[in-house]
Every structure is written in C-alpha cells, then in structure tokens.
Structure 1
Amino acid sequence: MLASAPGRYDKQPTVRVPGQHRVFTGDQAWAEVDRHARNGGRRTPVIVVDTYPGTDLAQLMAVVRAALPEYVVINVEDAAAKPIEDIDTLIKANLTNDRVFGVMSHHSLDQFYDADRLASLADRVLDSTQPTVLIGWGAALVPLQRSTLVLADMARWEIQQRQRRGAPNWRCANGDEDNLRKVKRGFFVEWRVADRHKRALFPSIDYVLDTNRSTSEAKLITAEAFHLGMQAAVSTPFRVVPFFDPGVWGGHWMQEKFELDSDADNYAWCFDCVPEENSVLLDFDGQIVELPSIDVVFLRPRELLGELVHARFGAEFPIRFDFLDTMGGGNLSLQVHPLTDYITNTFGMHYTQDESYYLLDAADDAVVYLGLKTGIDPAEMTRTLESASRGEISFAVEQFVNAFPAGKHDHFSIPAGTVHCSGANSVVLEISATPYLFTFKMWDWDRVGLDGVPRPVHLDHARRNIQWDRDTKWTQENLVGQVEQLASGPGWVEERTGLHTLEFIEVRRHWFTDAVEHDTCGTVNVLNLVEGPEAVVESLDGGFEPFVVHYAETFIVPAAVGRYRVRPHGAGVGKRLGTVKAFVRGTEMS
C-alpha cells in the first residue's frame, strides 16, 4: 500500500504507526489516566500533568476537574512558581531591550520555582487522603512519588498562533504586547527551557497528550505508542506539517498551487521543513495525533540525523527548507546574516544562518539582489542606509547592490555576511541552515509590517557582519550559476548546484525520467520535488512502504533509511522530473 494517495500538494501529511494502539479523547482520556493511576500501587493516586508553556492551563484544569470530580486539581504554577518579576530579573540579560534578538538561555526550569514551596506542596499532597492531580509547566518538579505522569505537548507554531490571538507568554500579563517580543521570549528563553525539561521527562512519562487543538478535544496516547511513533518516523521518508504565513511582500503563487484560502491577502512564507517549529502527524489506524516534530529529533537523533551530524550539531535538525512567495508581491527586505563568530558571541547560537535561494518559479522580470557592486564606498553605503532608516530618503538599492536576473531552477548561494534579498515575482525554495531568526534587515522599501508598525531594522548588527569584499566579480564567480554535472545514467543526471564552500550544506539536483538510486550514507537527506507532478520513493530492501511525493513537497529521508530510489509515479510517468537534495557536507559514512 502506498504511503500517500496521488493528488496535489498534501497539507496534512501523516506518519503511519504500525500495530494496534488506542487514541483516547475527552472524558475517555482522563478515565484511562485514572485507571493507570489507581493501578500504580499508591493508596492515594497522584497524577502529574506537566504542560508545555503555551497550554491553556485554565481550560485544561476545567476539563480535568469535570472528568475527575473525585480528584483535587492543583495548579503547580500558582502554588510554587517564583513571582514573574523575579523571573524577569533572572532572564533580563537573555531578553535584552531589542525587539527581535535576545541571548540563548541556559536556564533550567527549577530556577523558575521556589524549592521550599515545591517541598511544602509535596507535603500537602502526601498528607491528603484525596486523589490529586498536579498540573502545569513544571508539575513534575514537585518532589514526590507519582502514580502517573502525563506530558501535555504542543508545537511552537501553535504557540505563536495563540499569541497572535492575544495569549501571553508564560505567567506574563503581556497578551497585547508586540508579537515579535513574545516570540523573542519564547525563542530565546521559554522554549529552550521547556525542551530541556521535557527531554528529561521522556524516559518516565506514562502518556502524551496532544494539546495543539482545543483542550476539550485533546488526544491521549500511551508512552509506548508515542515512542513507537517516533521510531516509525525515522524508519521511512516522512514529511512534517507545513504552515503558511502572510507578509508585507507576500505573493499568490502558493494560493493557487497549494489550494490555500483564496480570500487571504497573500501568503509570503511556507515553512515546509523546520522541525523546531513544525508538527508531525502520527496516524494510529486512522486516528491522527499531532505532536511537535522536534520530538523526533530529541528522541531518535542518531537514526534521524546520522552519527556524524549528531556529533556536530547535537539533537538539532540543522537543515531548513521553506518557500518565499513574491509572485505578484514585493521585494524582501535587504538583509544580511551574522557570521559564525558573531552569532556565537552575541546571541549564544553555535552555528549561523547560511542559506541559498533555489528558484522554483519566476516571472520574466524576477531578480535576486546579491553581493555588493564593485567599487562602492562602504562608508557612503552605511551613511545612506542610516539616513534611509530615519526616513530622510529612500535607499537606492541598485546603486550599491547587484541585481541578477533570476530564472526558474536557478540557484544562488548566500553564505553568511553576504548582502542579499529576493525580488518580486518569484517563488524561492530557501535551502538553508536552521537558525531562521537571525536576519539583520538594512532596508525595507519604506514599508510597515502587517501590524502597521515599521519592521525592525538592525543596521548596527548588519554593518558588523557585511563582507565588503564580496563584490560583483566575487559574487558572479562564487555564488551565481554554480552548476556542475557529477554523474549520469540511464534516464537520470546528477548535478551539484551549491552551496558555497563557506557553507556546510551540500545540494545535489537530479533530473530523471526513470528510477534514480540514492544512499543516505548514514546522514540525513532533505529533498524537494522541484519539477514534475509526482514521484515515489522506494526502499531497495523493503525496509519501508513506497512513499509518494507531489510537486513542491519537501520530505526527509532519515539517515537510518540507507539506500533508496526515486522514480516517476502516477501523473509523473513519462515526464522529466527533478529533485534537489540537501545534506551536511562531510558527514557521509562509507
């Protein structure tokens, strides 16, 4: 049986989990938790529900109280968390005064809690003759023996959607605050602390609760089912759930090609493979459970990433694929990304945002702005940008920056420190390193954001990272049109299309009308079907079921898969197809 039915771009891809596993919902879920707790050997059951920050705790507590009326339900956050003012003081250096950028936190969740109050809460529960539910982010910190541990998990993208609708950060009264500042607090502090905390809980959880939807509709699975789902994901090619977002420069290509809401003003981004943010949908015999795809990275890093990628990056997915749609839209902001030394010393991130633009589609007038024009005066460009940032003038981009014609299937490398932006009327498949937040905008074409507020410009950061020697000649010789044929066979050709040697990602393109064989060589592969309607990915040894992919879909082939083939399928038979494949250089195992 094929893992995906023929059709257009699949916005809800799933990972099928073998075996028989129950998915519990509503009161049935809490009845199952209660059953487990009462069979745990304690005379008075204690259930711990440890939540990811962003969970609607009040709603979840109401659901639990209604489902388990015999239990006392205690909000651990109210009972034992430090005052938010104390936490703000603790993390002040991480948050900074900047609207976008902070410093990576290395705090642990116990630092946000009062140890004496946690101990007092444990004594209160142990002295009680009533069954108890301890609930909240950090509930597992209460020092007592529990009957049952439930991890209530949530993807970061869902948290951001809730914050846009007015949800605050954890225990903050900032529901109406600038969303960029909410994301900053999450990205640099809350999510880092939360991931450390839940990784420590993984070995001891009894259940996982999917809270990505309404809490009353939350789905519960056993720890066994959860771990088998993680294993299923790394045993086959799979896709994470893409998400789409509007922007001031957004276009309309994805609205048509991906059948998105036609009434939306535009769609600028599609985050098609950003496991830190995306979800993964686990299919338990037709019952779908949504969990953060980063859980796969945390729990199965060696099978997913490969030994050498894991050794270099740890349990972090280093490759990102996303779409930038400016078809009928505008130019992206003129920008530059930080050098590795700068991002490490300034923000505490251990690798930087090298990237590239692969043109999935382009109108005749499409351009990519890339590199500086030969002979420009850095001081003059800096002064002009500063004047433009004050609203005194409009910055004349083409006076200082090269504009290269951009056609379909062109590939432009953009190592950190290179001034760049995509122009209007194109669709870019951005193949890059994962630290997506670190973009230093220099000029935004006199625009404001969708919220009506001028988008942040970071000239001070930018000028410290611009590589002024990357002029027209250097850019043409190093970053534009770098295509090299490597191999060919019956019905296929393999090419190297980038990235630059300063970047750690290798990209290979295959054109094919027949089957072409691949081998992960022990390192994770990320692919996109950039040409043709449909292909199928097959195991050479029957290790996974055939996996169908459609035009523009990004898919991950875990390192553990080994050898596989990609061939035309369905509507793709008889046509010339193309894939691009990215992997980390120097991590292939012989």
Structure 2
Amino acid sequence: MKFYPLKFKPILKERLWGGTKLKDTFGKPSTSAITGESWELSTVKGDVSVVANGELANTSLQELIEKYPEELLGKSVVERFGTEFPILIKFIDAKQDLSIQLHPNDELAQERHNSFGKTEMWYIMDADPGAELIVGFNKDVSKEEYSKSLENDTLLDLLNYEKVKEGDTFFINTGKIHAIGAGVLLAEIQQTSDVTYRVFDFNRKDKDGNLRELHTELALDAIDYKNKDDFKVEYPKGMNSVNSMVDCPYFKTNFLDLDKDLKFETKNRDSFTIYMCVDGEALIENEFGKVSLEKGETTLLPAITEEIAIKTTGVKLLEVTI
C-alpha cells in the first residue's frame, strides 16, 4: 500500500452561530449561511472522514485504520487508543457568540457517556476588531455562587474575557468554562469526543423557535471553579524551524512558519502527522507521494512515513502528532 499524504472531504456542520467564512475564505463546499464547523479529520460515529485524493479516494478513515492500524496510526498510538482515531480536527467560524460551555474529564465522560473527555486547543486564524473569547472565571467561584448566577442571569459577570488576534493560541483543559466569541475564525485540535455541557446560550432560539438544551446539572460536578491563568499559549515563532506550542497527553502541536523548503526524518516518530495550513500554501511530500495544501486545508501523513519534505515560498502550518 502506498501511504501517501491523505486529504479528506470536509464534513460541514450547520450551527445556529455559524456564518459563511468557511466558504468565502477557505472555499469549503457550503451552500448554507450558517456553516459553523468544517470537520477535517474525524472518526466520530456518523461523521467519519472520507479520503478525497489519490487511489484511496472514497475510502473512509475508519476503514483504513482497521485495515492498517500500525502503519497509519503508529504502534504506540494503537496500544493506547486501539483503532479509534484519537483526535478530531476542525475549522470553526463563529459569526455569533457560541454558547458558554465546558467539557468533562476522561473519568466523568467514561462514566456518564462511555466516551473520552475533551481537552482542546484553538489557534486564531482571523478575528474581527474587538473579537473575544471567554476562558474561565475572573475570580475563584464557589459552586453555590455559580448556581446563583445562573438563577439570577448574572453568569456573564463572573467570566473572563480575552481579546484575540491572528496567531493567538489557547489551551482549554477539561472543566474550564469557555466560549468562542463572534467574529473569530479558528483551527481547533481536540480529543475525539463530542461531549459538551452547555450552561448558557444567551436565551437564543433555534430555527424552530426552541431554546437549545442546557446541561446545568451535569455541569455542576464537571466545572473547575478556580481562576487559573493557564490557558494562553506562549510559543516561539522562529522562522523555518519547528516551534513547540502544546505538549499534552492527548496531542502535541508545533508551529511552522516557513519561507523556504524544509525536510526532516520521522521514522522514529511512531505517530501519524497532521498538517493544518493556517496561511499560505505548500507541497507536502513523503516517500509515497505528495499533496498540495492551501490555507484552510488539512492533510494526514501515516505513521509509516520516514521522511517529510515541505516545499514552499511561504506557509504557516500547525503540525499535530500524538
């Protein structure tokens, strides 16, 4: 089997808060005015990615993993996660504010939903002037104080707001209350999980006039009520080098800002490699083939890859491994 760099058909998701930037900026094949997410790499049940390029076109990612687990994922990844792809890769366009939410940790998610928890990171690709994120509380809060704020409709007074610009990066631990604000376009890397506890949705109604479901009781034991300044990722931005951004038990992410070609060995990596193009364009090659990558596109290089070459005159990439 030739394990060339794989591109996948985007899985587009309509969201109440979505817009048209995924189509307008990245050329995603959307026909909706409220496309909020493009799932780039997924094996979430019902939303499994399908190969878009080369001789494996129209084959599902899950099918490939089950047929070639170690070649695709890496031996150590298979030992940890079996034949489930361990991360979910997305681009997100927030035309409106997202709901205020949080994600349970692995233990709670396993107990309640037979799922992994959801640790995630965001890389800001574009932000309208004044755009913000909500990340955590602005002070230590008790469970009682939090519950009272929901009753009194004063939760927003307890939350921490962060102005954002292109290149800003945030790491969102499980339990941390958060929301993406209106006018933000970002790349998201997360554990494979779709378990979200929504706690406030600005009293919005969906297209059928219904309020969206809240998960008030489930969230109470999942929230981290402490004010922690542990979410903004400061990372080196050296040109033509591999800059470490996030290194956590669930994924490792590096930042590459290149204005010339780069080549390096990966035969000892024992993990797949993902590239998300956040600006510019490049040709990504391994010993089995090559693929072009433009802003808003993603490629997966199987773990069996021994050498990667990136050919470019200008590109910014997020490199993701386990």
- What TM-score do the two structures reach when normalised by structure 1? 0.51
Match of 2:241 among 486, 493, 496: 493
Partner Cα distance (1:262, 1:355) in 2: 25
Q: Which has the higher strand share?
A: 2
Q: Could you give the per-residue CA deviations for residues 415-448 of structure 1, whole angstroms, max 9, x where no partner exists?
A: 111111111101121111111x200000011112
Q: Could you give the per-residue CA deviations for residues 482-513 of structure 1, whole angstroms, max 9, x where no partner exists?
A: 2146xx6xx603222225x4x42111001111
Report the equivalent of 1:537.
284
Partner Cα distance (1:369, 1:413) in 2: 12
Match of 2:255 among 509, 513, 517: 509
- The answer to whether the 8 A contact 2:20-2:32 is kept is no
The secondary structure found in structure 2 opposite 1:537 is strand
Report the equivalent of 1:481.
233
Partner Cα distance (1:517, 1:450) in 2: 50
Instruction: Give the 5 Å matches for 1:122-137.
Output: none
Partner Cα distance (1:371, 1:517) in 2: 40
Match of 1:358 among 97, 101, 123: 123
- The answer to whether the 8 A contact 2:134-2:181 is kept is yes
- The answer to whether the 8 A contact 2:142-2:225 is kept is no
Gaps of 5+ in 1: 1-230, 388-392, 585-590
- The answer to whether the 8 A contact 1:354-1:416 is kept is yes
Partner Cα distance (2:30, 2:137) in 1: 38
Report the equivalent of 2:11.
243
Report the equivalent of 2:311.
567
- The answer to whether the 8 A contact 2:4-2:290 is kept is no
Q: Could you give the per-residue CA deviations for residues 241-269 of structure 1, whole angstroms, max 9, x where no partner exists?
A: 10212211112211212345786322111
Paired amino acid for 2:50: S
- What TM-score do the two structures reach when normalised by structure 2? 0.91
The secondary structure found in structure 1 opposite 2:70 is helix
Structure 1 residue 552 corresponds to structure 2 residue 305: no
- The answer to whether the 8 A contact 2:5-2:285 is kept is no
Q: CA shift at 1:396, angstroms?
A: 4.0
Judged with a 3 Å threshold, the aligned counterparts in structure 2 of structure 1 residues 527 and 261 are, in CA distance, closer, same or farther, namely closer
Match of 1:307 among 70, 75, 79: 75
Report the equivalent of 1:44.
none
Report the equivalent of 2:23.
255
Instruction: Give the 5 Å matches for 1:6-17.
Output: none
Q: Could you give the per-residue CA deviations for residues 21-80 of structure 1, whole angstroms, max 9, x where no partner exists?
A: xxxxxxxxxxxxxxxxxxxxxxxxxxxxxxxxxxxxxxxxxxxxxxxxxxxxxxxxxxxx
Q: Could you give the per-residue CA deviations for residues 281-309 of structure 1, whole angstroms, max 9, x where no partner exists?
A: 4755xxx9634321111111100110000
Paired amino acid for 1:407: K
Q: How many residues align?
A: 317
Partner Cα distance (1:461, 1:302) in 2: 37
Partner Cα distance (2:242, 2:29) in 1: 37
Partner Cα distance (2:291, 2:31) in 1: 32
Paired amino acid for 1:356: M
Paired amino acid for 1:524: F
Judged with a 3 Å threshold, the aligned counterparts in structure 2 of structure 1 residues 376 and 289 are, in CA distance, closer, same or farther, namely closer
Partner Cα distance (2:136, 2:26) in 1: 32
Paired amino acid for 2:49: N
Q: Which has the higher helix share?
A: 1
Report the equivalent of 1:434.
192
Paired amino acid for 1:257: T
Paired amino acid for 1:510: L
Match of 2:168 among 406, 410, 416: 410
The secondary structure found in structure 1 opposite 2:245 is strand
Matched-pair identity in %: 21
Judged with a 3 Å threshold, the aligned counterparts in structure 2 of structure 1 residues 423 and 535 are, in CA distance, closer, same or farther, namely same
Paired amino acid for 1:550: E
The secondary structure found in structure 1 opposite 2:16 is coil
- The answer to whether the 8 A contact 1:394-1:446 is kept is no
Bigger Rg over Cα: 1
Judged with a 3 Å threshold, the aligned counterparts in structure 2 of structure 1 residues 434 and 262 are, in CA distance, closer, same or farther, namely closer
The secondary structure found in structure 2 opposite 1:424 is coil
Paired amino acid for 2:93: D
Judged with a 3 Å threshold, the aligned counterparts in structure 2 of structure 1 residues 517 and 451 are, in CA distance, closer, same or farther, namely farther
Report the equivalent of 2:177.
419
Paired amino acid for 1:527: Y
- The answer to whether the 8 A contact 2:26-2:295 is kept is no
- The answer to whether the 8 A contact 2:255-2:319 is kept is yes
Q: CA shift at 1:536, angstroms?
A: 0.5
Judged with a 3 Å threshold, the aligned counterparts in structure 2 of structure 1 residues 525 and 579 are, in CA distance, closer, same or farther, namely same
Q: CA shift at 1:343, angstroms?
A: 1.1
Judged with a 3 Å threshold, the aligned counterparts in structure 2 of structure 1 residues 240 and 552 are, in CA distance, closer, same or farther, namely same
The secondary structure found in structure 1 opposite 2:107 is helix
Match of 1:459 among 204, 208, 216: 216
The secondary structure found in structure 1 opposite 2:210 is coil
Judged with a 3 Å threshold, the aligned counterparts in structure 2 of structure 1 residues 302 and 260 are, in CA distance, closer, same or farther, namely closer
Partner Cα distance (1:394, 1:249) in 2: 21
- The answer to whether the 8 A contact 1:240-1:275 is kept is no
The secondary structure found in structure 2 opposite 1:567 is strand
Partner Cα distance (1:263, 1:292) in 2: 24
Q: Which has the higher contact order (CA 8 A, sep 6+)?
A: 2
The secondary structure found in structure 1 opposite 2:84 is coil
Judged with a 3 Å threshold, the aligned counterparts in structure 2 of structure 1 residues 315 and 468 are, in CA distance, closer, same or farther, namely same
The secondary structure found in structure 1 opposite 2:23 is helix
Q: Could you give the per-residue CA deviations for residues 436-470 of structure 1, whole angstroms, max 9, x where no partner exists?
A: x200000011112334322111111111111112x
Partner Cα distance (2:24, 2:42) in 1: 23
- The answer to whether the 8 A contact 2:245-2:254 is kept is yes
Partner Cα distance (1:331, 1:518) in 2: 41
Paired amino acid for 2:245: T
Judged with a 3 Å threshold, the aligned counterparts in structure 2 of structure 1 residues 257 and 522 are, in CA distance, closer, same or farther, namely same
For the aligned residue pairs, the C-alpha RMSD in angstroms reads 2.1
Judged with a 3 Å threshold, the aligned counterparts in structure 2 of structure 1 residues 553 and 263 are, in CA distance, closer, same or farther, namely closer
